[in-house]
Chains A and B, each alone.
Chain A
Amino acid sequence: MDETPLLQLRDITKSFGSVQALSDVDFDVRRGEVMALVGDNGAGKSTLVKCVAGTHTPDSGRILFEGDEVHIHGPKDAAKLGIEVVYQDLALCDNLDVVQNMYLGREEHDLFQRLKEPIMEQRTAETLKSLAVTTINSIRQPVATLSGGQRQSVAVAKAVQWNSKLVILDEPTAALGVAQTEQVLALVRRLGEQGLAVVIISHNLHDVFETANRITVLRLGRTVGVFEREKTTQQEVVQAITAGVPTKVSGIPQTAGATP
């Protein structure tokens, strides 16, 4: 595996008017790892993700992707790099079926703009199979008829289908039942195992400890610390979220396990 993290954020600062949303935030994600981004409301999680997704442009700081500095000015730039974001609202069209949603805006077509349905259907089936999404009866049924967990799975599959390297999931288990949450968490772990870099934003520490390899805690727009899941406890992370434990030294995020 590559030594340099896939995505490196350095000293990202962003303010909206007088509100300092992010100040000097550092953030790393490696290939094949699930990085959780946690923090209380208003900690800056969404703003940070939007800076990566191209919805916001940071005021200062650098974004390095695969070791090179990049400038992301819009969702298209992000997609070109291989960064996909699954937002909480999933951005699915309920009236369209699974295949149609998976290819939304990137339909396979011929010279006359005719859709190549069979190819899209076959590749959708492959993608879902590779992610072990097996609960969907027919990929030709409208997304409206799917359960919450299935919809989330489709949204995730849609994001990873395009050779993406980094997938960011915003609260993927919010509003899901227990069984469906397990379904989605298993899917998230599988993405990491397949070599993708995954960022999962969540309020739910149970979910975070179920999936993440590392945990970055934000508090009031600053990085509190980066914790290795295997060397930390929920209490420690909760404390970092609520009280803040300054373990950050001169721009390099330290793992809390090393400096208790």
Chain B
Amino acid sequence: MSAGGAEVVGQDQVAPVEEEPRGVAGLWRHGIDNLKSGNLGVLPIALGIVFIVVFFSFKATNFFTANNFDNVIIQMAGTAMLAYGVVFVLLLGEIDLSISYVAGIGAITVAELQLPGSGHVVNGLLAMVLAVAVCGLIGLVQGSIVAFVGVPSFVVTLAGFMIWQGVILQVLEQRGSIIIQDRWINYTASYFFSDVAGWIIAAVITGIYLVTVVGGLAGKRRAGVAIPKPGLVVAKLVGVAIAAFGIVAVCNHAQVPHGLPLAGVLVVIALVLLTFLAKRTTFGRHVYAVGGNAEAARRAGINVSRIRIIVFIISGATAAVGGIILAANVNSVDLNFGGGTLLLNSIAAAVIGGVSLFGGRGEVRAAFLGALVIATVSNGLNTAGYATGVIYVVTGVILLLAVTLDTIARRLQVRSGR
């Protein structure tokens, strides 16, 4: 951090720091200020999840159980992975309609590469890497058409939607489905950590967060810029620790399946890495810039085409990971893979989480929270014995509610600004 610090001036030129009340009162005012300016943060969706959980706990006796908690994690994993890619694409103000069938291509790739007796069997781990590479390549091609030729992403990826669906049908036409037997591939959905390993993972996650926060604060102090309110920092730290250890505690309490699922860990790792990419790197900054004002980004010397293409590669790659997890969950790939609600649920997850369809606004965590909402609702309605139709209706209503709330908040923001 101090490499470019030669020009840093003395302590007397500290940036103006607003005097803010400390402690609980300060936190409360911070929240109120955010509300007034239309920055709702995770508050509405967190309340929504709490409401959903409480509701179904009363509605279905076997909903609020440790076993079901493990189920929800695995059910949300695939959608969350696809939704991560959706967040980046939406941040640009683009759309990727091909992801569900690209996920299918990823799943078929791993399935083919582990198929015994096919003559092209590779190690399961390598198969997964290759699948991600294949889908990244698909993203590269689709993104290049969008970036260089200027065909709207809606059209390019709608074409991709049809093409990759066609490829899946063609490949599986005779066989109907491919059974996945490779244990590494199946582990992505069916491996559960032992109790001790779970605790270690919780400790590591909390530790990494602690180190990151302290490092960030140190850097800010060195540069003499405003430091976030200590109460807020401590509250976040405690929150992360409680979440990490709480989740492990519940998972370890579960009977069948027992322990922390690898799928959940993968989703969290992706969340951390992609959040870092979006918020802490020049690339992420440029994604937000292109989504906010592509012309301004171009004039600022940002290679807009390069950013667009990389984002579509990310979208393809996350779709592949999601596809592998979804296939592993049923130990097979069949003709219908990637159909149904996968695409729309993935986009809905990002949007429910608060990502704007018009670009430039949203966080990676939106995908995580949105996928959690969708998985919880669908799981709860299933557990309570409702039909699939009801699940679709409720998911649709939640989507509409979330976006309506966001739109109103955005209007307030504009009003508070001018």
A positions within 8 Å CB-CB of B: 75-76, 79, 89-96, 100, 104-110, 112-119, 121-123, 125-126, 129, 137-141, 144-147
Complex Cα–Cα for A138 and B18 (A) = 8
- B292→A93 contact, CB < 8 A: yes
**A residues less than 8 Å from B295 (CB atoms):** 89, 91
- B3 to A, closest residue via Cβ: A110
Which 6 pairs between the two chains have the least Cβ-Cβ distance? A105-B300, A118-B223, A93-B292, A125-B15, A95-B360, A145-B417
- A107 to B, closest residue via Cβ: B282
- B18→A137 contact, CB < 8 A: yes
Complex Cα–Cα for A126 and B301 (A) = 24
- B297→A93 contact, CB < 8 A: yes
- B224 to A, closest residue via Cβ: A122
B13 at the interface (CB under 8 A from A): yes
Complex Cα–Cα for A217 and B245 (A) = 72
Complex Cα–Cα for A126 and B13 (A) = 8
**B residues less than 8 Å from A96 (CB atoms):** 285, 288-289, 292, 360
Complex Cα–Cα for A197 and B302 (A) = 27
- B18→A118 contact, CB < 8 A: no
Complex Cα–Cα for A110 and B2 (A) = 10
**B residues less than 8 Å from A95 (CB atoms):** 288, 291-292, 360-361
Complex Cα–Cα for A95 and B287 (A) = 11
Complex Cα–Cα for A108 and B6 (A) = 13
**A residues less than 8 Å from B57 (CB atoms):** none
- A93→B417 contact, CB < 8 A: no
- A104 to B, closest residue via Cβ: B300
B268-284 interface bits toward A, Cβ cutoff 8 Å, 1 = contact, 0 = none: 00000000000011110
**A residues less than 8 Å from B361 (CB atoms):** 95
Report which of A91, A100, A114, A141 forms a contact with B299, defined as CB distance below 8 A: A91
B234 at the interface (CB under 8 A from A): no
- B293 to A, closest residue via Cβ: A93
Complex Cα–Cα for A91 and B290 (A) = 11
A-B contact pairs, 9 of them (CB 8 A): A93-B288, A93-B360, A95-B360, A100-B285, A105-B300, A115-B280, A118-B225, A119-B5, A122-B225
Report which of B15, B293, B301 forms a contact with A106, defined as CB distance below 8 A: B301
Decide yes or no: A94 and B292 within 8 Å by CB, A114-B281, A122-B8 being known contacts.
yes
B390 at the interface (CB under 8 A from A): no
B1-40 interface bits toward A, Cβ cutoff 8 Å, 1 = contact, 0 = none: 1011101110001011010000000000000000001000
> Which size class do B's interface residues fall under?
35 or more
B positions within 8 Å CB-CB of A: 1, 3-5, 7-9, 13, 15-16, 18, 37, 219-220, 222-226, 280-283, 285-286, 288-289, 291-293, 295-297, 299-302, 360-361, 413-414, 416-418
Report which of A110, A129, A140, A144 forms a contact with B417, defined as CB distance below 8 A: A144
- A109→B8 contact, CB < 8 A: no
Complex Cα–Cα for A109 and B281 (A) = 8
Besides A95-B360, A121-B15, 16 other A-B contacts (C-beta < 8 A): A76-B301, A93-B297, A94-B292, A96-B285, A96-B360, A100-B289, A105-B300, A106-B300, A108-B4, A114-B281, A118-B1, A118-B222, A118-B223, A119-B4, A145-B417, A146-B417
Output the least CB separation between B282 and chain A (Å): 5
Residue with the highest number of chain A CB atoms closer than 10 Å, among B3, B281, B300, B416: B300
**B residues less than 8 Å from A109 (CB atoms):** 281-282
Output the least CB separation between B158 and chain A (Å): 27
Decide yes or no: A145 and B225 within 8 Å by CB, A94-B292, A125-B15 being known contacts.
no
Residue with the highest number of chain B CB atoms closer than 10 Å, among A89, A105, A121, A125: A105
**B residues less than 8 Å from A79 (CB atoms):** 301
Report which of A92, A114, A141, A147 forms a contact with B293, defined as CB distance below 8 A: A92
Output the least CB separation between B12 and chain A (Å): 12
Complex Cα–Cα for A138 and B291 (A) = 23
Complex Cα–Cα for A19 and B181 (A) = 73
- B220 to A, closest residue via Cβ: A118
**B residues less than 8 Å from A91 (CB atoms):** 293, 295-296, 299-300
Report which of B8, B223, B282, B293 forms a contact with A115, defined as CB distance below 8 A: B282
Complex Cα–Cα for A224 and B389 (A) = 76
**B residues less than 8 Å from A104 (CB atoms):** 285, 289, 296-297, 300, 302
Output the least CB separation between A218 and chain B (Å): 25
Complex Cα–Cα for A89 and B418 (A) = 17
Output the least CB separation between A89 and chain B (Å): 8
- B225→A105 contact, CB < 8 A: no
Residue with the highest number of chain A CB atoms closer than 10 Å, among B7, B13, B226, B285: B285
**B residues less than 8 Å from A90 (CB atoms):** 296
- B288→A126 contact, CB < 8 A: no
- A121 to B, closest residue via Cβ: B225
**A residues less than 8 Å from B299 (CB atoms):** 75, 91
Output the least CB separation between B361 and chain A (Å): 6
- B1→A119 contact, CB < 8 A: yes
- B281→A113 contact, CB < 8 A: yes
**B residues less than 8 Å from A139 (CB atoms):** 15
**B residues less than 8 Å from A117 (CB atoms):** 219-220
Decide yes or no: A125 and B301 within 8 Å by CB, A95-B292, A114-B280, A145-B417 being known contacts.
no
Complex Cα–Cα for A109 and B1 (A) = 9
Complex Cα–Cα for A139 and B226 (A) = 10
Output the least CB separation between B355 and chain A (Å): 12
- A122→B292 contact, CB < 8 A: no
- B281 to A, closest residue via Cβ: A113
**B residues less than 8 Å from A141 (CB atoms):** 37
- B416 to A, closest residue via Cβ: A145
**A residues less than 8 Å from B285 (CB atoms):** 96, 100, 104, 107, 115
